[in-house]
Each structure stands twice: as C-alpha cells, then as structure tokens.
Amino acid sequence: MKIIIGSVPPLKAQSQKVTQGNNSFIAAQLLHVRPPRKGISGPSGMERRNKPVNDPLIGRVLTLMVADGRQLPADIDSGRYEVSLRFVRR
C-alpha cells in the first residue's frame, strides 16, 4: 500500500481534448473499502438523513481515485452511467 500525504502536482495543459469510446478503460486506484451504510436514528427514533438509503446488506462501498479526471465524462454526476470493474493484482 502506498500512502501519499500532500497534494497532487498540477497536470500539464493539453491542446486536444481526450476522446473516449464506448468501451474505453480508465485506470483508477482503490483508496478505501467500507461496509454499506446502516440506518441512523436521531433522538426521536426517526431517520436523520433527508433521503432514505437502502444499501444492500452484502454490498461494499469502494472509494476510487482516477488520476486524470479529464478521462471521465463531463456529466458523470448525473448517474446515467453504468460502471464495470475489473480487478488486476499488482
């Protein structure tokens, strides 16, 4: 495991935009794995979050870092994308 403290050096400006195909692979680094969220009850016994969360009980939450964010679609926050994972041991 490699732990880096500090900031990432700035990337060099590119003159061309990175083009993407439908089956392009983007390299990412796995930063953290945690169990799914559980309900959080407030003092009155009601859920404290605004939206109800139904995470699968056997699921895992992965935190990934993509080194070059320009490879990601501009509207990645829309949630209209399906993500496939392939794990390769180093």
What's the mean pLDDT in 9-30? 67
Q: What b/e readout covers 20-39, taking b as 16+ CB neighbours within 10 angstroms?
A: eeeeeeeebeeeeeeeeeee
How do residues 40-84 score in pLDDT, each as one tens digit? 666 666 665 666 667 788 889 899 999 888 888 889 888 888 888
pLDDT of residue 31: 94
Mean pLDDT, residues 10-33: 70
Mean pLDDT of the residues in the chain: 76
Domain boundaries, the chain: 28-78
Calpha distance 57→59 (Å, rounded): 6
Is the pLDDT score of 33 beyond 70?
yes
